[in-house]
Amino acid sequence: MMGALLTGETMFARILRGILASPKATAAALVCLTLVVAALLAPVIAPQDPYDLGVIDFFDSRLPPGSESLSGMTYWLGTDTQGRDMFSAMLYGLRTSLAVGLTSGLLALVVGTTLGLIAAYMGGRMDAFIMRFVDLMLGFPTILVALMILVVFGQGTWKVILALVFVQWAYFARAVRGAALVETGKDYVEAARCLGLSSTRILAAHILPNCLPPLIVIGTIQVANAIAAEATLSFLGIGLPITEPSLGLLIANGYQVLLAGLYWMSVYPGLLLLAIVFSVNIVGDRLREVLNPRLET
Amino acid sequence: MTITPPAARAVAVTKRFQRKTDFADRLAIRLGIASPPPAVHALDAVDLEVGKGEVVGLVGESGCGKSTLGRVIAGMLPPTSGHVEHDGKDIAQLRGKAARDMRLATQIIFQDPMSSLNPRKRVREIIGEAPRVHGLMPRGGTRKLVEDLLARVGLDPAMADRYPHQFSGGQRQRIGIARALAVNPDFLICDESIAALDVSIQAQVINLFMQLRAELGLTLLFISHDLSVVRHISDRVVIMYLGRVVEEASTDAIFDTPRHPYTEALLHEIPRLDRRARSFSPVKGEIPSPVNPPSGCHFHPRCPFAMEICATTRPPLLDVAAGHRAACHLNGGQGRLPLEIQNHTQD
Amino acid sequence: MTAPLLKVQGLKTWFDTPRGMVKSVDGVDLELRRGEILGLVGESGSGKSVTGFSLIGLVDPPGRVVDGRIEFNGEDLRTASPAGLRSLRGDRIAMIFQDPMMTLNPVLRIGTQMIETVRAHRNVSRAEARAKAVEALGKVGIPRPAERIDAYPHEFSGGMRQRVAIAIALLHEPDLIIADEPTTALDVTIQSQILAEVQKLAAEMGLGLIWISHDLGVVAALAQRVAVMYAGRIVERGTIDEVLDTPRHPYTAGLIGSTPMANVRGQPLRQIPGSAPPPLGRPEGCPFRPRCAHATDICRTEPQETLAGGHGWRCFHPLQDAAEVRT
């Protein structure tokens, strides 16, 4: 009965109630929130701007966690091979990772939802065409396709985002098409047609709002996937440029010295990445339970 | 003297549903490894007229095509062949404003109260959207229009800000009716609008339909499988079987002097509380599928009076009395005569 | 006077939901004799289906039979062990559902399922079980039963599937069959066929049948006795003639009065105002009070059943003049 609508409740209230009812989801949501806020406030909370070459001291490189700098600042999580404070680098890295993940997720949502709605509502050849394309996209491993795109078009932040959008839109399209097909068969859509409402209005104001549950769930999980995918690409060296390191790049940089015992350069960014991806997934999982249409009255 | 055209008229309407073939299907069919998808013969050369201000009851069981006919007459489904007229004008020829006016003048009240209202919209928005979009708003705007309509259909206007799931089935049907009335239709097509409701609520909604018809001068096409309800509310009754009209007459005539064996069978099944411990003597056989209808008269495999001609030739819909038509080969096209009349003619 | 086949007293089945305790069945008394057909009539939310499920022990958590005696052939089913109930179910008591696909497994041939049912309760060979199944299919009017027994449920039409479900119910010639709206979803001419079969078989086998329905007309034609349910209670019961000709409870009279055939053509139908209370919002005392034209203050207390011969009703102001409700 958990997902059932209480009298007069809005979708947002229902989601909130659902998350708060599960201790695991509440904890995960808090972690998410903390990390997002931390990333947003990175320029404020970071003790050091890791990209300001004037502040970095090369002689402070490879210091273990807890070491002190000559200026009295504590390197809580150590420094990397360039002398950057790991804590600051991680905050900025998280910021970049989240930005790329959210942007590509959002764009993929817009593209995928639009195509999914069109496919469901128009049916016939348009539906067949779009869905063949979706099948094609879903048939290839995500990283492989993104890799190929970046190899062909070169690196750069926006190129990475577009590559991620290209590999993700199909998930949204498929989910939305399924939900939209169900809704299109319902009488209220036919009633809207009978009342002379335009197709655009019906799609946007009638069908789309009823496709939100799967969209929200997939959106949440896809953001996590995008963050992880971007990290993978950066780790492989084809992701974001060095000037805007994400967590993936930090992990890659630290990887070179990992076996020498300088664990903090890889492990801490790795744990942070794990934290954000894991908590987003748990929240997404909980949302899937809460928004399950079979539980709706 | 000018004769007012009927509110709606279906002329030789045929409707077939067939799954569209895509490139791969067509290739397979051409190579002979697949057969063309089966066609559902929903309607077969149906003529129907609904006069202005009339209530016509359209009755039949599954597969008879009554819902499809309702949609075609409403202009929501194009016929495969034949045409539909509203107020004497062919609706397929209308364009622009005339087309829009036609669309709004005919509204459908749907069967399922659970899926006929958008669950994410408040009642105010559900009812008020169309008039607002089409610029039909009176002085005072949405609020007043919605509240007036809710009161007219017997609901508390204060409930306009609620969501559909907060209402019962009967109340949702009323909201659906208010939504239809919001665009000032002349013609309502009620597609099994009370079938999903409890018996005591059905009475309330039937009374509402009758009241609205009297107050607003509406024309009603009442589609139902329930002859007892149709008898109560209709001026004329049309009986359909497997895509064809088998009989049509005034309500009294259908009930007093049915001329088709299928009509008789349906009349026999009307629940009457005074028939206790009765033995059922049903019509034999299954309702055939509209994908593969029987030859000649569709009813012949189940008809207790079937003759040889019934299997080969489709009986035409002929006048058997004033305003009474039946499609049956019995008695030289007169259909099945009730026993008293039969005895008289044999004198 | 032979002992009744089924005697139910004070049956209460409640559902513990997050929103509160839903009292679907709240004090139901029923009696059924061998060879008798009892119609259990009510609208949605009245608790008639849950009553049926309670009798056969198919109520799942969060629902529970919290009180009452269910005496079947002298034995109280509520105290029976799960194993004991399981051996009764399908053998001595059978159930037919509104949707035949609740009985039929779509991935099994109907023969497989029927043979399995036979051998669950009798120690017979597969060949014997098959022969019994073919015989049962023939009895319910399935043409060419020896061939059709190997078909899958989706190869049958809705009406035929329901006949198969009935055949399965009849396999062990049970003493009691509970039928929960089995013909509601069927076309009127097909419904008539099923009702004819059921009538014939009930008479032949002398079994007790509880026919749950919202359709008074079907019950009038089929049953000898009827019980009318409202908001979890039986508000009136008796023989068909007693209840339909001289209804005492205003709800019964209202139901009868609102059927179109009981009204003058073209005039507004006599209707019961308002709607049934939601399961969690039932008024105290008589649940029909908010909709009743005869209600007074005493109706805020629980009406007990008044019994006159076999005719019983729960009302402080039973109707005396029944002339106006004749069809």
pLDDT in tens, B110-130: 999 999 999 989 999 999 999
Q: With CB atoms and an 8 Å threshold, state whether A191 touches B76.
A: no
A152 touches chain B (CB under 8 A): no
State mean pLDDT over C67-88. 86
Residues A116-133: pLDDT tens digits? 999 998 888 888 899 998
Q: How far apart are the C-alpha atoms of C111 and C153, rounded to whole Å? A: 10
pLDDT at B128: 92
pLDDT at B140: 67
Contact B65, B240 (CB under 8 A): yes
For residue A24, the enclosing domain spans 11-295
Q: Quick check: helix, strand or coil at residue A216?
A: helix
Q: Residue B20 above 90 pLDDT?
A: no
* Burial (0-12, 13-18, 19+ Cβ within 10 Å), C116: middle
Nearest Cα neighbor of C260 from C327, C308, C193 is: C327
Task: State which residue of chain A sits closest to B104, comparing Cα positions.
Answer: A195
Confidence of residue A288 (pLDDT cuts 50, 70, 90): confident
| Number of neighbours of residue C154 by Cβ within 10 angstroms | 10
Q: Terminus-to-terminus CA distance in chain A, angstroms?
A: 9
pLDDT at A294: 55
Q: Quick check: helix, strand or coil at residue C65?
A: strand
Q: Name the pTM for this structure.
A: 0.86
- Work out how many CB contacts closer than 8 A connect B with C: 135
Which residues of A are less than 8 Å from B102 in CB distance?
none
pLDDT at B273: 82
State mean pLDDT over B8-34. 84
Which residue in this structure is represented by tokens 């009038």? C220
User: Is A156 contained in some domain?
Assistant: yes
Q: Quick check: helix, strand or coil at residue B152?
A: helix
**The two structure tokens encoding residue C157:** 């039409």
Task: State which residue of chain A sits closest to B100, comparing Cα positions.
Answer: A196
Homologous superfamily of C6-92+173-325 in CATH?
A: P-loop containing nucleotide triphosphate hydrolases (3.40.50.300)
Give the type of residue at C277.
P
Q: How far apart are the C-alpha atoms of A241 and A261, rounded to whole Å? A: 27
Q: With CB atoms and an 8 Å threshold, state whether B20 touches A124.
A: yes
For chain C, give every residue range classified as CATH 3.40.50.300: 6-92+173-325
**Domains of chain A: total:** 1
Torsion of CA A287, A290, A291, A296, to 10 degrees: 180
Q: With CB atoms and an 8 Å threshold, state whether C254 touches B200.
A: yes
Task: State which residue of chain A sits closest to B105, comparing Cα positions.
Answer: A195
Confidence of residue C326 (pLDDT cuts 50, 70, 90): very low
Task: State which residue of chain B sits closest to C190, comparing Cα positions.
Answer: B286
For an interface test with A, which of B97, B104, B118 has the most A Cβ atoms less than 10 Å from its Cβ?
A: B118
Q: Residue B222 above 90 pLDDT?
A: yes
User: Is A198 contained in some domain?
Assistant: yes
Cis peptide before C62 (omega within 30 of 0): yes
Task: State which residue of chain B sits closest to C239, comparing Cα positions.
Answer: B276
Which residues of A are less than 8 Å from B167 in CB distance?
none
Query: What does pLDDT average to over chain C?
Result: 88
Residues 216-275 on C with a CB inside 8 Å of A are none
Dihedral sign of CA atoms A168, A169, A171, A172 in order: positive
Contact C239, C31 (CB under 8 A): no
Q: With CB atoms and an 8 Å threshold, state whether A191 touches B115.
A: no
pLDDT at B80: 93
Which residues of C are less than 8 Å from B203 in CB distance?
258, 269-272
Q: Residue C111 above 70 pLDDT?
A: yes
State mean pLDDT over A7-33. 84
DSSP C5: S
**The two structure tokens encoding residue C98:** 């509104």
Q: Residue A60 above 80 pLDDT?
A: no
* Tally of CA atoms within 13 A in the half-sphere of C154 that contains its CB: 3
Q: With CB atoms and an 8 Å threshold, state whether A188 touches B115.
A: yes
Contact B225, B43 (CB under 8 A): no
Which residue in this structure is represented by tokens 């004037």? A54
Residues 262-321 on B with a CB inside 8 Å of C are 265-266, 268-284, 286-287
* Least Cα separation, residue B108 to chain A (angstroms): 7
- Work out how many CB contacts closer than 8 A connect A with B: 67
User: Is A2 contained in some domain?
Assistant: no
pLDDT at B334: 77
Interface residues on B facing A, Cβ-Cβ cutoff 8 A: 20, 22, 74, 76, 100, 103-104, 106-108, 110-112, 115-121, 129-130, 133-134, 162-163, 165-166, 176, 179, 183
Q: Residue A296 above 80 pLDDT?
A: no
Contact A122, A180 (CB under 8 A): no
Confidence of residue A165 (pLDDT cuts 50, 70, 90): very high
Cβ burial A40-67 (10 Å sphere, 16+ → b, else e): eebeeebebbbeeeebbbeebbbbeeee
Which residues of C are less than 8 Å from B201 in CB distance?
43, 275
Residues C298-316: pLDDT tens digits? 999 988 888 888 899 999 9
Which residues of C are less than 8 Å from A2 in CB distance?
18
Q: How far apart are the C-alpha atoms of B216 and B322, rounded to whole Å? A: 29
A7 touches chain C (CB under 8 A): no
State mean pLDDT over C203-218. 90
Considering only CB atoms, A188 lies closest to which of B20, B103, B117, namely B117
**The two structure tokens encoding residue A94:** 């998280």
C61 touches chain A (CB under 8 A): no
- Work out how many CB contacts closer than 8 A connect A with C: 4
How, if at all, do strands B236-241 and B244-250 pair?
Answer: antiparallel
Q: With CB atoms and an 8 Å threshold, state whether A194 touches B116.
A: no
* SS3 assignment for B127-143: HHHHHHHCCCCCCCHHH
Which residues of C are less than 8 Å from A18 in CB distance?
none
pLDDT at C323: 45
Q: Between residues C141 and A30, which one has the greater pLDDT?
A: A30
Q: With CB atoms and an 8 Å threshold, state whether B271 touches C256.
A: no
Which residues of A are less than 8 Å from C19 in CB distance?
1
Report the phi/psi class of residue B162: left, alpha or beta, with left for phi > 0 and alpha for psi in -120 to 50.
beta
Least confident span in A288-297, B193-202, C205-214: A288-297
Q: What is the CATH number of the domain that holds A143?
A: 1.10.3720.10
Phi first, then psi: give them for residue C24, nearest 5 degrees: -60, -45
For chain A, the chains sharing at least 3 beta-carbon pairs closer than 8 angstroms are B, C
pLDDT at A1: 30
Residues C73-83: pLDDT tens digits? 888 888 888 88
For chain B, the chains sharing at least 3 beta-carbon pairs closer than 8 angstroms are A, C
State mean pLDDT over B187-211. 93
For an interface test with B, which of A10, A132, A187, A210 has the most B Cβ atoms less than 10 Å from its Cβ?
A: A187
Q: Residue A174 above 70 pLDDT?
A: yes
Give the type of residue at B273.
L
The answer for residues whose C-beta is within 8 angstroms of residue A92's C-beta and 6 or more apart is: A42, A46, A50, A51, A245
For an interface test with B, which of A125, A194, A200 has the most B Cβ atoms less than 10 Å from its Cβ?
A: A194
Residues B51-65: pLDDT tens digits? 999 999 999 998 899
Residues 144-163 on B with a CB inside 8 Å of C are none
Q: With CB atoms and an 8 Å threshold, state whether C189 touches B62.
A: no
* Least Cα separation, residue A108 to chain B (angstroms): 24
* Least Cα separation, residue C269 to chain B (angstroms): 6
pLDDT at A237: 82
Residues A137-161: pLDDT tens digits? 888 888 888 888 888 888 788 888 9
